Amino acid sequence: MKTPDQSPRYGAEHFLNRELSLLAFNRRVLAQAADETVPLLERLRFLCIVSSNLDEFFEIRVAGLKEQIKLAVRAVGPDGFTPREVFRRVVKDAHVLIAEQYRLLNDVILPALAHEGISFLRRSTWTPEQAAWIRDYFFREVMPVLTPIGLDPSHPFPRVLNKSLNFAVELEGTDAFGRNSGAAIVQAPRALPRVILLPSELTGVDYGHVFLSSILHQHVDELFTGMSVLGCYQFRVTRNSDLFVDDEEVKNLRTALQGELPQRHFGDAVRLEVADNCSQVMTDFLMTQFELARDDLYRAPGIVNLVRLNSVPDSVDRPDLKYSSYEPGLPTALTKRFDIFAAIRKQDILLHHPFQSFDPVIQLLTQAADDPSVVAIRMTVYRTGTKSVLMEQLLRAAQKGKEVTVIIELMARFDEEANLSIAAKLEEVGAHVVYGVVGYKTHAKMLMVLRREDGVFRHYVHLGTGNYHPRTTRFYTDFGLLTCRPEIGADVAEVFKQLTGLGKAGELKHIWQAPFALHRRVVHAIRLETAAAQAGRKGRIIAKMNSLLEPEIISALYEASCAGVKIDLIVRGVCALRPGVAGVSENIKVRSIVGRFLEHHRIFYFLADGEENIYLSSADWMERNFFRRIEIAFPILDPRAKRRVLKEGLRAYLADNTQAWEMDHNGQYHLKNGNRKVCAQDMLLKDMRAPD
């Protein structure tokens, strides 16, 4: 098996840093919150998305940097930075980003919401009637579930859960036992809502809210009878949440993971957030308890967890302040056919989510479960949700005697617990559950139905760029292909055989598979375009993905650019390639689309001397996807489907001049602004929504 080239042919100045690029992406998301053309409650949602993204950034990326620094790792990446240098730059950029986030919240979004009758009441503004209602709420709903912990020799500093809301309380006086520790910790149970809606008759507006933190601040003295509260401060700690399972030692991945999951909440601290009014004495005390330094401290001019505001857009019934609703359409091939198998036999069916419905995939599984001609169903699961209609159909199929085999990726980050639960339920009804290959995440999205027709078996296949998660198909852009082409079915069957059995990997005829061939095939396709340009023919590459990091791929793209190949890259998030550099990447353009939907599909287009080879994939162009994951890239063979992918998935986004950010040769992004407004997502919504 090929290993990645650790020595890129271009110097460090031609590669951008992954962590800094990820922060740059979150600046583009924050720009959506600042955009006055975006509906107000959606702007609040984008603000929350930034906080959620930053949580994961600290839990995984910053945690990894700190581990490398602790181990005195001095090795540099393609960008030439040591872990310590990256950390120093990350700290600077993260502080600036978070400060801008709070400025936008406090100075722009909250006042705009208040103008619309959606307010968040400060303690200083409570009327006597509001204060009485809140006091009753505290004694009825909050105080019974609180456990204040005074800090003394018999009550050491408590184990604080990752990302939980806590309060550090400074006290004066002695308690009933004569103790005087001077400090206590109050942990807010996760069962308590962080934002509470007051009756409209008390607030004079339709949506008057109060934060749980405000309620606790106001009544914290009730928890320490007879003592004086000198200060009460919110704080929140973010911990290393990357699970460690030793591939060399593990005997049973499921058992090992079940043992590791509970520790996620108590990993090493990597960030401390405190309210900006927290005293220096208490701040220093908390940093000592969590073994953190000044660089790890973030003072919040407001609530310390903006993610908790994410419940507000969903609970407020103001359609005028949200994106307009839409009903996804169906491909023409399915509008009049109720037999999904007959429809797929007639032609390949391309699904473009969220503009088109995910229902045909559910329909395929539903009909397969009921069809006596269906013998077996095989499926990969990376993320699907705890209450998934797809899983219900798989359970039903197994109960009806179908041979159901599910490859569940237990190491899907932050979905491990849900996937363990799904695995247990499937095993209970007799389904075969396989946990992939230890050391390689199964990230490919494949569903295969084996049906007996006229005495022979036919493979009905769904391949996708996104997860089998019906909810995210409403918010993520992805392609899915339904086909029964024998050549594709044979390749998919071979991949499933690798995942469930043992033996050498067979050569696939059409599908490019990681970790065996995907990297080699992509590099080869790029070099064919390079050779065409060098020979005086036209070379053209268009690729859309979430992340572009792998050094050898980037080097191959640079060489193609030098040969004259025109290259357009649509990279939503992290991109280490630097476009527009004289003599290196003059023919490469990089853009990022950030809008209503999360851009998620991966599309690879190569002109191939007019053949126009188009592949859809589950894989980004990253080292992990090429060498440490089981991924596939599958060709679009049907001419009509090929034209659709080119039009809807690539050209529409290259024409976008309202939500597109273009990267310059310095790695900085600039919002594209054309005279004639073109928004790819809006255009696709309009073209493919269901008829009224």
Chain position carrying tokens 């359609």: 319
Count of alpha carbons within 13 Å of 496, Cβ hemisphere only? 27
SS (H, E, C) 249-286: CCCCHHHHHHHHHHHHHHCCEEEEEEECCCCHHHHHHH
Give the closest residue to 178 by CA, choosing from 226, 220, 229, 232: 226
> CATH classification of 332-506, choosing from 3.90.550.10, 3.30.870.10, 3.30.2350.10, 3.90.650.10?
3.30.870.10
Other C-beta atoms closer than 10 Å to the C-beta of 11 total 10
CB-count burial class (<10 Å; 0-12, 13-18, 19+) for 618 = buried
How far, in Å, CA of 265 to CA of 606, rounded?
Answer: 45
Q: Is 443 a catalytic residue?
A: yes
Q: For 410-416, which contacts have Cβ atoms below 8 Å and span 24 or more sequence positions? A: 410/253, 410/254, 410/257, 410/435, 410/436, 411/243, 411/245, 411/253, 411/257, 411/441, 412/382, 412/383, 412/441, 413/60, 413/242, 413/243, 414/56, 414/241, 415/382, 415/383, 416/243, 416/257, 416/261
Give the closest residue to 481 by CA, choosing from 356, 605, 349, 379: 349
The pLDDT score that the predictor gives to residue 264 is 43
Find the largest Cα–Cα distance for the chain: 90
> pTM for the full model?
0.91
Give the closest residue to 384 by CA, choosing from 468, 466, 473, 463: 468
The pLDDT score that the predictor gives to residue 418 is 67
CATH 3.30.870.10 positions along the chain are 332-506, 513-688
CATH 3.30.1840.10 positions along the chain are 12-321
Chain position carrying tokens 């004639």: 676
Beta-bridge partner residues of 592: 661
How far, in Å, CA of 108 to CA of 40, rounded?
Answer: 10
The pLDDT score that the predictor gives to residue 437 is 78
How far, in Å, CA of 325 to CA of 136, rounded?
Answer: 38
The pLDDT score that the predictor gives to residue 579 is 98
* Cβ atoms 622, 615 nearer than 8 A: no
Cα 671-605-329 angle, rounded to 5 deg:
75
Is the bond into 515 cis (omega within 30 degrees of 0)? yes
* Cβ atoms 169, 184 nearer than 8 A: yes
Q: What is the pLDDT of residues 105-119, one digit of tens each?
A: 999 999 999 999 999
How far, in Å, CA of 201 to CA of 664, rounded?
Answer: 54
Other C-beta atoms closer than 10 Å to the C-beta of 460 total 23
The pLDDT score that the predictor gives to residue 249 is 42
Chain position carrying tokens 């924050």: 30
| Segments of the chain scoring below 50 in pLDDT | 243-251, 253-254, 256-265, 412
CATH class entry, domain 12-321: alpha beta
Please list, in sequence order, all residues whose beta carbon lies within 8 angstroms of the beta carbon of residue 280, skipping any fewer than 6 positions away: none
**Catalytic residue from among 443, 519, 600, 601:** 443
* Cβ atoms 210, 198 nearer than 8 A: yes
Please list, in sequence order, all residues whose beta carbon lies within 8 angstroms of the beta carbon of residue 330, skipping any fewer than 6 positions away: 356, 357, 359, 360, 690
User: Is domain 513-688 annotated with CATH 3.20.20.70?
Assistant: no
* Cβ atoms 237, 160 nearer than 8 A: yes
CB-count burial class (<10 Å; 0-12, 13-18, 19+) for 689 = middle
The pLDDT score that the predictor gives to residue 430 is 82
How far, in Å, CA of 626 to CA of 554, rounded?
Answer: 13
The pLDDT score that the predictor gives to residue 151 is 84
* Cβ atoms 167, 233 nearer than 8 A: yes
* Cβ atoms 499, 442 nearer than 8 A: yes
Give the closest residue to 384 by CA, choosing from 406, 351, 399: 406
